[in-house]
Amino acid sequence: MEMCTEEFANKIVQLCISKYNSLKKTGKPKNEAEWTLLSCFVQEKQCSHKLKVVALGTGSKCIGSHQLPSTGDVLHDSHAEVVARRAFVLYLITQVRKATEGHNSIFEIKDGAYYLKSGILFHFYTSHTPCGDASIFLKQEWLECVGNILETKEGPTTSLSSLIGDSDLEPPIKKRRCQGSSDFEDQIALQDTKNAHVKFDNMRKMDDLEKEKNITECIDEVSEVLSDTFRTGAKCVAGEAPDPKLPGSKYHVTGVLRTKPGRGDPTLSLSCSDKIFRWTILGVQGALLMILLKKPVYITTIVIGQCPYSQEAMKRAIYGRFEDGLNNLNLPEEFSVQTPVLVQSSIDFAHSRINIAKTSSEGSKLMPTPTSIIWSDTIVHKESQEVATNGRRLGCTKKNIGTPKSWVSICRKAISCVMLDLLKDTKWQPIDFNELTYNDLKYYSKSYNQAWNILKSKCLSNWTVKPKHVKDFKVK
């Protein structure tokens, strides 16, 4: 199966990074100490094996629970995976409209319902393991995955890099904290080995006894680091088992739902690991588009860029931890349990935190870029990408807050407006268009709501619920 191979993964990543590089500089890291995350949806036509990027997002920020507006015009979660997925929803809505108007589309109409044409697949790329459960695993497990074994017989002049593996893959040796960035404060491997490195460099000046003693100390230091786990800033949801926060590998508990941290304010946004699992059951199209679609739109492949990675942790996060609940899942006939292919690429992203740390000057304070880039293969982004900050369009003035000038095209308000216009054109008739709220509109997606309620009862009973006022804004 081609999509299981690293060659296929690399092809996907090259395409995504090429699209990212083609976009303007606005919203990208501005200096040597800024980093970001990149995620994309790639469409494949099986008949021709033609691949193209149809949605892209960057970012690593979230809005705190006390900052959520009741107007639907602010993007709550700006992690790259979520931004890309919402941009993908915009792309799907546009494709349904094209089918409605008789234009070339990935959808076709049968008996009044919209079907994805056969032979159309979607692949999802993200430059780093998703925050939350997928990012919790032993550091040694990652090193073993890339062929690093802590054994050497080459004598006292052996460098630390040969002990810990290929220098091209060696992460930064000094931990740099990042304010407001949640999930990557503890995700640079071997950050505590700088002193060991210095010891190895000084060994030539020592006698044999001193050399033997220092080699032992260095290996002990490295071993201590490797027995630790990568950390995630995502916090366990109330009702789930809490993190023990014990030293080393016992700091985290695995398999639980987590919320993303915000800037000084806890959020209600579930981790990307949790959200991606939900997509594997309910699809990536969301509730609103399921009003018209006959079946959900699923991801065939998930590609992770070059970064600390564990195949076992990915499997656990994306479907393994919910195995018991999934065995007893009686979903509506349109829905099914999907297990996308999970594969890692050997290509890294130039603006990743690890890459920026490698090239930044000594003492630089690494910071996540405060902006998110939004791009989709639609008329909305024909000229250029959108850039968001704090959930609103970059450059929005206080005067424009609350008006369409402040909206990004993928916020709840904007998506629901576009969707309502589409429903009107398809002759879909609710009770009263003028009084329709966002929550009302979601209610009309009967099969989606049924599937979601079943999934919550069996697997996601502790999923956070947004306050009622956040969903009760009028669509028009």
Q: Give me the residue label for tokens 């931004």.
A: 83
Average pLDDT (32-36) is 92
Give the model confidence (pLDDT) of 330-361 as tens digits.
Answer: 999 999 999 999 999 999 999 999 899 888 87
Query: What CA–CA distance (Å, rounded) separates 154 from 279?
Result: 49
Position 436 scores a pLDDT of: 87
Q: Which of 163-177, 320-334, 347-361, 448-462 has the lowest mean pLDDT?
A: 163-177
Position 3 scores a pLDDT of: 62
Q: Which of 8-22, 70-84, 371-385, 429-443 has the lowest mean pLDDT?
A: 429-443
Q: Which of 69-78, 299-308, 428-437 has the lowest mean pLDDT?
A: 428-437
Position 227 scores a pLDDT of: 65
Position 430 scores a pLDDT of: 66
User: Would you say residue 74 has pLDDT above 90?
Assistant: yes
Confidence of residue 13 (pLDDT cuts 50, 70, 90): very high
Position 232 scores a pLDDT of: 87
Position 397 scores a pLDDT of: 81
User: Would you say residue 200 has pLDDT above 60?
Assistant: no
User: Would you say residue 235 has pLDDT above 70?
Assistant: yes
- Which pTM does this prediction carry? 0.85
User: Would you say residue 228 has pLDDT above 90?
Assistant: no
Average pLDDT (450-467) is 95
Please calculate the CA angle 445-451-452 and round it to the nearest 5 degrees.
85
Average pLDDT (156-179) is 33
Query: What CA–CA distance (Å, rounded) separates 332 from 347?
Result: 39
Give the model confidence (pLDDT) of 376-433 as tens digits.
Answer: 999 999 999 999 999 999 988 888 887 888 999 999 999 999 999 999 888 777 667 7
* 81 catalytic residue (yes or no): yes
Joined tokens for residue 413? 């308000």
Position 191 scores a pLDDT of: 44
Considering 81, 170, 185, 221, which one is annotated as catalytic? 81
Q: Where are the domains of the chain?
A: 2-134+256-471, 138-229
Average pLDDT (146-174) is 35
Position 175 scores a pLDDT of: 34
Q: What mean pLDDT value characterizes the chain?
A: 84
